[in-house]
Structure 1
Amino acid sequence: MPTRPAPDWRHSIVSRTSMAIAGIATIGVIVIGTSERIAERIQGSGVSINEAGSLRRVSHRLVNLALTATAAQGQEKLREAIGAFDVALQSNTLREAIERTASDEMTATFEQIATSWQTQVKPHLLAYASKPGTTLAEATSLLAEIDQLVIYIDDLVRHLETDTEDRIRHLRLTLAASLALILILVVPTLILLRRRVALPMEQLIAGAGRVARGDFTSPIGYTASDELGYLARSFDLMSTQLASLYNRMEHQVEAKTAELSRSNRSLKLLYDSISHLYNASHRPESYRKVLDDLEEVLGLSGSMLCQLPKHQGTASIVTSTIGDCEDRSIAACLKCPEFDGQASIVPRRRKLEAKVPVTDKESTPLLKVVRPNGVSARLRQLPLVDADRRYGVLRVLLEAHQELEPWQEMLLEAVARHIGIALGISFQSERDRLVALQEERSTIARELHDSLAQSLSYMKIQASLLQPLLSDPERSAQAQVVLNDLREGINSAYRQLRELLSTFRLGMEGDFLNLLNVTVDEYRARSGVPISLETRLEGCHLTPNQEIHSLHVVREALSNMTRHARASHARIVIEYRDPNEVVAIIEDDGVGPFASTGELGGHHGTSIMKERARTLGGSVNVAPREGGGTRVTLRFPTVATAAEAQADHV
């Protein structure tokens, strides 16, 4: 790696700039200290001048009060004015201002004011305050003394003003000198920054722009011995290294781009394959699209999908891009005109055994095929397996010297797995449809046996009883009773048949809650009675058999209410209670079956409800409702019972 000469610290920009800044800072500190000292000495000058001027004003007021102090009130005001002058003369602000000036002349003037006041003016004024009335000579003497005092006060004020102006002038001179020194330091510093910082920075920025545009061949061109020169040389070295690095990275990016493109094609192939296999029905066109995409991505010469028979016979070709033939069997597959029937197993791979799921590459057979034009090719076979069950074989045609890369092998096996899963799902879907059809037939047969068959048996018994009664005219009254029972049985059978048809039609319209709502709407319209429905089945899962039987119990209870109760309101509550129990309550406020005898008679609908409850492993209780009416309570466990499981397989 090329070496970079270190910067010469004798020409360092940082050192020179630091010295300039230190000089400016030193001047600033000196200026601030001097200004602070002058400001401290000037502080209070205005107040002291005002207080000195107030002495002059009080002096004139004393003259007026002394000359007019004839009454007691005037003498009192004179004493107050004398006290005010004493206070002003002893002011701390005035004394501190005089002490800060350290001027002998100003101190002597202040002493003259104090002496004149204490020895001359103040005694005369006190005499005026104690003795009313003055002579002309006394007044003239007092005025002369006060005039002399005012002259001293004027001198003091003048000295204070002169001292303040001198200090302000000194502050201005200090600031002007500091500004000149700062300019002397700043101007060379700005020139240095322009030559050694601004211009090199412009060159560095221009070089950075060229690097950003991908130009690594233009050097910065700044070779000074300072920091920016060191940075420029380092930047030139970095550009050279970046040029070399970019060349290497371009090759790597090209390789990665090809790899990502290949991965993208692989992912797209898997996505499209899953979409074709799982979203479309089990048709050869769906598998044909998958094989077309597989050949395009892997560069295959052809492919074929063979499916094993469900029961007996030979396997058949589901779809093929190698060619089509009328005899879609494995035996005739290799006799397609595309090949000429010559094939052999390559010795380096073992033959695929029947009924053994094989997914690893080493166990996948490879056939060598000779085409009619004499060009040899290879036929790769992959088993189509799902859940340890084999459904067929995927065959792909490779050129004689074509070798699949590892990613191609993985992609090919992944597509084969998805095809096997799709075939397994298709097979399982057929089994599920068959099971659903058998369950539906079992449910219909069970419902006919539980309801309509019993009614028909009852009518058969009544018919056998009626036959001997009709042959005897004397027993016509008994025959009429049997005939009425037979008619009632026929009506009951017809009603049960209609209920069964209604229930099975409802079973096509939605889930259990929807069926309950449809049932309530039906009986509300049939009876004209308001019926409320409350369901609390959160977290409960009912089997289809439980839904059918519980729905029949609800319909039977509502049917009894419609025909016998003469109710004005009915209520249905179905809720899931822990642990694993469903409770259905159907109640009304009608007369009910307990109105006349107080006991429940052998009502045919009640026996049907109890039979259905036993099938569910539960119970039905029909009892009087508090306040009048009837309450039907159905209880059954949500876990399928042995009786229900047996009923499901009838």
Structure 2
Amino acid sequence: MPIDMEKFVWRHRLSTRILALNIGGLIVIMTMIIGTLWLSWQLEGAGAAINDAGSLRMRANLVQIELDRENAVGHSNVEKTVFEQNKLLDQLLSGDPSRPLFIPNDVGVKNQFIKVAELWRNKMVPAIYSADSADRSKKYYSLLPDFVAQTNLLVSLIERANEQKSNLLRVSQGVLALTACFGALAIAYLLYLWIILPLIRLQDGVQRMAKHDFSVRLPVDSRDEFGSLMQGFNAMADELESLYRDLEARVADKTVRMERQNHELTTLYDVLVFLNQPADIEQLCSGFLKKAMRHFNADGGSLRVLDGHTDRLHLVVSEGLSAEQINADQCTHVNACHCGHATFQNRIIIKDLKSSRAQLPCAKSGFVSLAAFRVACLDQSLGEFTLHFYEERSLSAAEAQVLNLLGQHLGVALENRRLSARAREVAVAQERNLLAQGLHDSIAQGLNFLKMQVDLLKKAQSDGDHAEVEEIVELISGGIDESYQDVRELLLNFRSKLGPGELFGGIRESADRFSRQTGTEVSFSVIDEGGAPLSPEQQLQLLFIVQEALSNIRKHAGASHVQIVVRNGPDFEIEVIDDGSGFDLKEVDSRGEGHIGLHIMRERAERIGAHLELNTSPGEGTLIKLCLSKCLRKAA
């Protein structure tokens, strides 16, 4: 069976048909050409036979002449002429293909040739070799007219046969020409049917398919290569049509999914942008709830925060709820309804209220379904928010995921607000602590000194020691002036505010004010090595440290010259150098007095991660060096 199929396929191949057509045409053309050549050859041989047959008459007459000569002169070439005549008859009888020479293969011609040959051999040759020479010539001469007549008849028959072959040759040549013409037309027509027409159909099909007409099908009317190609084209068209239909469906589905995802991303982006805007917690929760309701077409909503001590949910904001429902939900236990379950169970609660047996406040308000989501930050539950619907509503997995993410981002935003509030409280507490230390180190000590002087003034007044009274009054007046300067300095320090790049100007202003108040010469220089600007917080703390250093110089050093050097390189450095009295740092620390001024500077340096270094000794002045490394610098 496989062999038969192979033969069947081979028989119907286009190459087989073209080869058979070529071979058939070649055979026909070659046959006709060979036929015409054969006829031409026959005509040429018959022409030679006509010439030789004419030579028979001439030689027969030549024999008569030789016989007459022999009678006249006594010698002749009769025998030679007879020999050549016999030889010519033998050649005509046997033929000579190389010349060519042969008598036409015709019965009449053959019979006439035999008759001529027999007349020559049986009558005329014996007459030539008779005994009496005079009698030979007469006898031969009597037979010569009959021989010539028979020879003429033979020539006429050969010419007639030759004419028939000439006619046949002309007919053959005409048939050959017609065959060539019809063969060329037939070949062109077959090639059109076998090759050109299938190619035109295939080209038309490809062009229609290029225009997205996948319904095109090509007729399969042969079993050759083009038939197989048409079948393959139709199969491809079927598959492309199926794929195109599937592609349209998939594109439509993908478009719907992309629109849904775009809506989800828009929702996330809209809510996240809002959550990152500055607002208090109530405004934040209210705006979040309104956006969630608008994006998910909710009819009502509520947001509650969790009280971790009592496990109760407190209503923060609500939209679209009745006053009765708001009063009922103002403060509920986490186990009182589905909303509390969503808070602690870490799962989305989507509930159909019609099938619920319990009459919840939201069901009494006419809501048919609700969806509750946890508000959390780092797996810590902060509360929940709920969307209410007057109609049955089921959320897709993607919508539920988006709402769950919104709850997490809201939790992060609320926690950030709480942390920011706590950070501000800590900062205020630290500033209050520093303010308290400043008041204690300056104003409180001054007031204590004034209180002691007042007690001494009362005792001197009771003793009547006027000189001591005047001395104590001077001390009290100086103490009041000193306390007044301390208050002004504290007020100026705590009112200082710096923007980006204003540190150098703030230090210069503080140095100028110090010089005006104390009359002490102050030199200020900045070595800018291309360091990046500092953040406002770091600038402010550095300014406070410089101001505190100048305050300590005013109170304790008694210096005549102060030098302030700022180096803004990869590391930020500040040096405050005075030529005052200096002090023994170890002795001061051992007396527990290290907190005066120096403690405040160290706390401020630690707050920004800077290193504070103090070099001093009695009578040698004081060097305060502050260094902020490049790894701790914050961009302005």
> What's the counterpart of residue 142 of structure 1?
none
> What's the counterpart of residue 551 of structure 1?
546
Question: Offset of 1:518 from its aligned partner?
Answer: 0.4
Alpha-carbon contact 1:455-1:493 (below 8 Å) kept = yes
Alpha-carbon contact 1:317-1:330 (below 8 Å) kept = no
Distance 1:437 1:303, change over 3 A: same
> What's the counterpart of residue 177 of structure 2?
none
Alpha-carbon contact 2:498-2:540 (below 8 Å) kept = no
> What's the counterpart of residue 488 of structure 2?
498
Between 1:248-257 and 1:547-556, the stretch displaced more is: 547-556
Aligned partner letter, 2:507: T
Larger Rg: 2
Aligned partner letter, 2:511: Y
Question: Offset of 1:430 from its aligned partner?
Answer: 3.2
Looking at structure 2, the residues matched to 593 and 455 of structure 1 have their Cα atoms a distance apart, in angstroms, of 22
Confirm or deny that 1:410 pairs with 2:401: yes
Percent identity among equivalent residues? 22
Alpha-carbon contact 1:577-1:583 (below 8 Å) kept = no
Deviations 1:527-571 (A, max 9, x none): 48541134899899998997476334433367589984257xx33
Looking at structure 2, the residues matched to 205 and 560 of structure 1 have their Cα atoms a distance apart, in angstroms, of 105
Question: Pick from 430, 447, 458: which aligns with 2:449?
Answer: 458
Q: 1:49-198 to 2 correspondence within 5 Å?
A: none
> What's the counterpart of residue 372 of structure 2?
381
Q: 1:336-355 to 2 correspondence within 5 Å?
A: 352=340
Question: Pick from 246, 249, 252: which aligns with 2:250?
Answer: 252
> What's the counterpart of residue 268 of structure 2?
270
Looking at structure 2, the residues matched to 525 and 406 of structure 1 have their Cα atoms a distance apart, in angstroms, of 68
> What's the counterpart of residue 440 of structure 2?
449
Alpha-carbon contact 1:357-1:388 (below 8 Å) kept = no
Question: Offset of 1:246 from its aligned partner?
Answer: 0.7
Aligned length: 422
Question: Offset of 1:200 from its aligned partner?
Answer: 8.8
> What's the counterpart of residue 564 of structure 2?
571
Looking at structure 2, the residues matched to 199 and 587 of structure 1 have their Cα atoms a distance apart, in angstroms, of 106
Looking at structure 1, the residues matched to 363 and 438 of structure 2 have their Cα atoms a distance apart, in angstroms, of 66
Confirm or deny that 1:213 pairs with 2:211: yes
Looking at structure 2, the residues matched to 614 and 296 of structure 1 have their Cα atoms a distance apart, in angstroms, of 54
Looking at structure 2, the residues matched to 560 and 228 of structure 1 have their Cα atoms a distance apart, in angstroms, of 111
> What's the counterpart of residue 54 of structure 2?
none
Question: Offset of 1:401 from its aligned partner?
Answer: 5.1
Aligned partner letter, 2:498: E
> What's the counterpart of residue 622 of structure 1?
616
SS in 2 for 1:279: coil
Distance 1:420 1:331, change over 3 A: same
Question: Offset of 1:391 from its aligned partner?
Answer: 3.1
Distance 1:545 1:443, change over 3 A: farther
> What's the counterpart of residue 473 of structure 2?
483
> What's the counterpart of residue 531 of structure 1?
524
Aligned partner letter, 2:256: A
Question: Offset of 1:245 from its aligned partner?
Answer: 1.1
Aligned partner letter, 1:505: R
Deviations 1:88-139 (A, max 9, x none): xxxxxxxxxxxxxxxxxxxxxxxxxxxxxxxxxxxxxxxxxxxxxxxxxxxx
SS in 2 for 1:416: helix
Deviations 1:475-496 (A, max 9, x none): 4444443333333322222222
Alpha-carbon contact 1:316-1:330 (below 8 Å) kept = no
SS in 1 for 2:383: strand
Distance 1:374 1:499, change over 3 A: closer
Question: Offset of 1:469 from its aligned partner?
Answer: 2.8
Q: 1:630-645 to 2 correspondence within 5 Å?
A: 631-634=622-625
Q: TM-score, normalised by structure 1?
A: 0.51
SS in 2 for 1:357: helix
Looking at structure 2, the residues matched to 631 and 333 of structure 1 have their Cα atoms a distance apart, in angstroms, of 63
Alpha-carbon contact 1:587-1:631 (below 8 Å) kept = yes
Looking at structure 1, the residues matched to 401 and 13 of structure 2 have their Cα atoms a distance apart, in angstroms, of 58
Confirm or deny that 1:585 pairs with 2:594: no
Looking at structure 1, the residues matched to 289 and 312 of structure 2 have their Cα atoms a distance apart, in angstroms, of 22
Alpha-carbon contact 2:375-2:383 (below 8 Å) kept = yes
Distance 1:476 1:9, change over 3 A: farther
Aligned partner letter, 1:323: L
Question: Offset of 1:497 from its aligned partner?
Answer: 1.7
Deviations 1:291-339 (A, max 9, x none): 44434554544322233469889754333333242884444699xxxxx
Alpha-carbon contact 1:613-1:620 (below 8 Å) kept = no
Distance 1:286 1:534, change over 3 A: same
Between 1:447-456 and 1:556-565, the stretch displaced more is: 556-565
Deviations 1:592-637 (A, max 9, x none): 4369xxxxxx9xx999444546767966333699xxx955234699
Looking at structure 2, the residues matched to 221 and 624 of structure 1 have their Cα atoms a distance apart, in angstroms, of 116
Looking at structure 2, the residues matched to 518 and 576 of structure 1 have their Cα atoms a distance apart, in angstroms, of 19
Distance 1:328 1:548, change over 3 A: farther
Looking at structure 1, the residues matched to 245 and 624 of structure 2 have their Cα atoms a distance apart, in angstroms, of 85
SS in 2 for 1:257: helix
Q: TM-score, normalised by structure 2?
A: 0.52
Question: Offset of 1:360 from its aligned partner?
Answer: 2.2
> What's the counterpart of residue 337 of structure 1?
none
Question: Pick from 509, 514, 521: which aligns with 2:509?
Answer: 521
Question: Pick from 346, 351, 369: which aligns with 1:359?
Answer: 346
Confirm or deny that 1:426 pairs with 2:417: yes
- Unpaired runs of 5+ in structure 1? 17-190, 335-342, 596-601, 639-650
SS in 2 for 1:385: strand
Question: Offset of 1:501 from its aligned partner?
Answer: 1.3
Alpha-carbon contact 1:532-1:572 (below 8 Å) kept = yes
Question: Offset of 1:585 from its aligned partner?
Answer: 2.3
> What's the counterpart of residue 34 of structure 1?
none
> What's the counterpart of residue 51 of structure 1?
none
Looking at structure 2, the residues matched to 503 and 297 of structure 1 have their Cα atoms a distance apart, in angstroms, of 51
Confirm or deny that 1:302 pairs with 2:291: no
